[in-house]
């Protein structure tokens, strides 16, 4: 074995160990719920918990709503900024990065001040309103990832010429956006969508302070009250994430019309 490839293997093994050893240790611990034997008892217990089912379904719905809303807001915005207002791009990029700079707890207190039950728009005055506020908050949290992903996708294609070609064939803005631009940045949108999904599914701060039964607060609750279920949940979350990434890969690689 050459010295250079030996070094590469050592670096690879060290890197892989950094990620895999804690994961394997967590998995091993999650199997030890029954004394003296390995079993999936912790997983069975978690699945049977009504609170797990409710919180996971709730967060799943909200995460999907966040993805849809995020795509509907970000794609047209990024498209028109790039096509018609390119000078505004630095300002828009700055705005989209703000959720990374401003802590989630500051954002949620801002929301509570803006949309409390005695404000002009009392979103926290009803369950549906609070859910809507939570979804909008998730959209804001995921904005840096969704915008960057979509923006990169748009930069990879010549949107101006494609737009003009479609216009000359009689297409209006909506047709161009949904039938020409969107299909050609599908992989970028999917990338942003799954990052958004990953953020929304396990988010704690917003959901906890808005007092909604989401998966994040449930993870926190079970982590502070149980021993074996939290590692089981961590492993499950890990596999859900990988499953989602797998779906993304399948959809993207199955995409027609691109190299």
Partner 1 sequence: MNFVTISQLVKNYGTNKVVRGLDLGIRRGEFVSLLGPSGCGKTTVLRMVAGFETASSGTITIDGENVTSLTPAKRNVGMVFQAYALFPNMTVTGNVGFGMKIAGRPAAEIKARVAEMLDLVKLSNFGDRYPYQLSGGQQQRVALARALAIKPRVLLLDEPLSALDAKIRVSLREEIRAMQRDLGITTIFVTHDQEEALSISDRIVVMNAGNAEQVGTPFEIYNRPSTKFVAGFVGTLNQFKAVRTAGGYDIEGQLVSSDAAGQAAPGTKVTLALRPEAMSLEASPQRSNSLRGVIEEVSFLGSVVRIRVAFGSNKASFDIFNNPNAAPPHRGAEVLLHFNPDDILVLAA
Residues that bind partner 1 (CB under 8 A): 157-158, 161-162, 164-172, 175, 179-180, 183-184, 186, 256-259
**Nearest distance from residue 81's CB to partner 1, in Å?**
19
Residue number with CB closer to partner 1 (75 or 140): 75
Residue number with CB closer to partner 1 (50 or 168): 168
Residue number with CB closer to partner 1 (32 or 186): 186
Helix/strand/coil for 258: coil
**Nearest distance from residue 169's CB to partner 1, in Å?**
3
Residue 61 to residue 67: CA distance in whole angstroms = 10
The label of the residue with tokens 């990988």 reads 242
Residue number with CB closer to partner 1 (173 or 208): 173
- Neighbouring C-beta atoms of residue 113, cutoff 10 Å: 9
* Half-sphere CA count of 246, side-chain side, radius 13 A: 6
**Nearest distance from residue 152's CB to partner 1, in Å?**
16
Residue 259 to residue 163: CA distance in whole angstroms = 21
Residue 192 in contact with residue 149, Cβ under 8 Å?
yes
**Nearest distance from residue 82's CB to partner 1, in Å?**
16
Residue number with CB closer to partner 1 (51 or 179): 179
Query: DSSP assignment, residue 10?
Result: H
- Neighbouring C-beta atoms of residue 115, cutoff 10 Å: 20
**Nearest distance from residue 155's CB to partner 1, in Å?**
15
């Amino acid at each position: 074995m050459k010295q250079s490839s030996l070094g590469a293997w050592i670096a690879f093994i060290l890197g892989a160990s950094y990620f895999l050893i804690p994961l394997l240790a967590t998995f091993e611990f999650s199997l030890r719920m029954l004394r003296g034997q390995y079993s999936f008892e912790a997983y069975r217990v978690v699945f049977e918990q009504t609170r797990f089912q409710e919180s996971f379904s709730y967060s799943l719905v909200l995460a999907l709503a966040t993805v849809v809303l995020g795509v509907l807001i970000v794609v047209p915005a990024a498209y028109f900024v790039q096509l018609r207002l390119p000078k505004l791009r630095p300002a828009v990029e700055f705005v989209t990065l703000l959720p990374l700079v401003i802590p989630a707890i500051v954002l949620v207190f801002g929301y509570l001040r803006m949309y409390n039950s005695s404000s002009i728009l009392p979103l926290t005055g009803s369950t549906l309103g609070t859910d809507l506020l939570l979804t909008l908050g998730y959209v804001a949290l995921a904005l840096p990832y969704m915008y960057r992903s979509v923006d990169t996708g748009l930069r990879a294609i010549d949107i101006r010429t494609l737009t003009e070609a479609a216009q000359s064939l009689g297409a209006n803005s909506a047709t161009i956006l949904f039938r020409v631009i969107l299909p050609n940045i599908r992989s970028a949108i999917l990338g942003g969508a799954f990052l958004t999904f990953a953020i929304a599914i396990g988010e704690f701060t917003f959901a906890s302070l808005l007092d909604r039964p989401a998966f994040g607060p449930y993870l926190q609750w079970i982590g502070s009250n149980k021993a074996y279920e939290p590692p089981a949940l961590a492993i499950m979350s890990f596999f859900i994430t990988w499953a989602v990434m797998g779906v993304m890969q399948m959809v993207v690689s199955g995409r027609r019309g691109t190299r």
